Structure 1
């Protein structure tokens, strides 16, 4: 699904201040994938959200683990979860504000 995404949490995992969140416009374009799969590190099934480049060649944002839909309405949604930094063994809360992009017809 083609979407535009804005991050709702800062780098340290704290929620974006309300005055900045209100003016936030989704700007990161990509293809959203949301699925459930068994993860051996967690030893349980885990929902995850991933944002790939438009051509699906690479990930645009770090994967969200234990991803949960918070809001879904009128072409917008919010997904919350946590990012994992394997090197620093750090987990950080993150939420994505997502705007669904309607494909445009090209050609005759």
Structure 2
């Protein structure tokens, strides 16, 4: 992205949450990682003129490097540094269970 191009925090939030090592966005201990837009807030993504910070809950057993690489891959090439803050790790017990579809038995 070239300087001065508007960064779409909604697109970043959606792309990051779709990554395999990410259980969700995390806005930080005090909710400081967020983008404020007209009439709403996007928690977990903070866009500034000189940097972007993304807070996430990682998915166990991913490492910090795998989680950070996943986030940066979701953001893609951009004109400023992307900082990744891992606020928590979701254990497999925290994940919703999938129920097998009985109609295919």
Q: TM-score, normalised by structure 1?
A: 0.24
User: Highest Rg: 1 or 2?
Assistant: 2
TM value normalised by structure 2 = 0.25
Higher strand share: 1
